[in-house]
Amino acid sequence: MIKAGIIGSTGYAGQEIVRILLGHKDVEICWYGSRSYADQAYADIFGNMFELVPDICKGEDLEKLCDQVDVVFTATPQGLCSSLVSEEILSKVKIIDLSADFRIKDAAVYEDWYGLHHPSPQFIEEAVYGLCEINRDAIKKARLVANPGCYPTCSFFSIYPLARAGVIDMKSIIIDAKSGTSGAGRGAKVQNLYCEVNENIKAYGVAGHRHTPEIEEQLSYASGQETLIIFTPHLVPMNRGILVTAYADLKGSYSEEELRQFYIDAYKDESFVRVLKSGVNPETRWVEGSNYTDVNVRLEKRTGRVIMMGAMDNLVKGAAGQAVQNMNLMFGLEETEGLMMPPMFP
């Protein structure tokens, strides 16, 4: 059995890792780390874990934790993992970091967009960007994986086939994205209170959201071209889900059938990316609670532009599910183990 520890186990993504790993036949959770709820019973915090998790939350001592487990998930805010990781720790355990600390290969870009000093830039080059469908072979050999952000994951899957094929102008991309409120985390914030969110939709991070450089960097790798995007996220009054609608100029003349074929070819061997039938648009309700991302593409014949769409659960494929998928690859397990739960509806 693989022994796992979770730092930040009482956040939304951390609790989702717990839920998934409880159904994983090859993993035992040995440590429930939580700075806010240390010494409290995990099931007292999350009633859904009553009689499922008898453990008490412990602190977030990574040095102590790494002597007891094989893998550590850090579901923590930006800056924590990079302040704790060291060569000694990485010699003992594999780390899957759900923050942005090691996603961007240029420390200066990270510091500029996140407003934080990066305390361990020496590990940035080594860290593997944990998008399993693209970096599968590198992840298998990694000891430090940077789990992708939720918006970047859905945006990437929506655009990747056409970026890879070189058929869109990589400086013309506009991404309109909408997310449920769990994407903002479990911390108490006035702007996320029920009365602030309910019956409302709003854009935020306009012309400067910090996921922008992550999306641009990964699409640049995919296309082999410099990529510039306009990325505007929106908060919608639902618990889970991300919907991406992206637009770009085509570099040639293509039919919608030809564009769809790029998607079919790109994802034909992938378990968790589903190319929908022609004319069917992705919806968050059909991926909720699952590790699936649904994608499709439409041609706007009047303007000659392409519309690229994707939907996924921000807490599963956008966070915890993707982290477990990375863990499976890192330990030589079946990539889908523990992740084949069907979407929930209603």
Taking the CA of residue 180 as centre, how many other CA atoms within 13 Å lie in the half-sphere pointing to its CB?
Answer: 20
* Beta-carbon count within 10 A of 345 CB: 9
Terminal alpha carbon distance of the chain? 34
Burial state string for 228-258 with b = 16 or more CB within 10 A and e = fewer than 16: ebebbbebbeeebbbbbbbbbebeeebebee
Give dist(CA 322, CA 292) in Å, integer.
10
Give dist(CA 249, CA 255) in Å, integer.
14
Give dist(CA 156, CA 218) in Å, integer.
8
- Helix (H/G/I), strand (E/B), else coil: 95: strand
Give dist(CA 117, CA 78) in Å, integer.
10
Residue 17, C-beta contacts closer than 8 angstroms, at least 6 positions apart: 6, 9, 73, 75, 320, 323, 324
Helical pair 212-223 and 150-165, crossing angle rounded to 10 deg: 20
Active site residue 57: no
Catalytic residue among 66, 81, 132, 150: 150
Give every strand in the sheet of 94-97, ordered side by side: 27-33, 2-7, 71-74, 94-97, 144-146, 128-129
Tokens encoding 204: 């935020």
Residue for token pair 């915090």:
45
Active-site positions read: 150
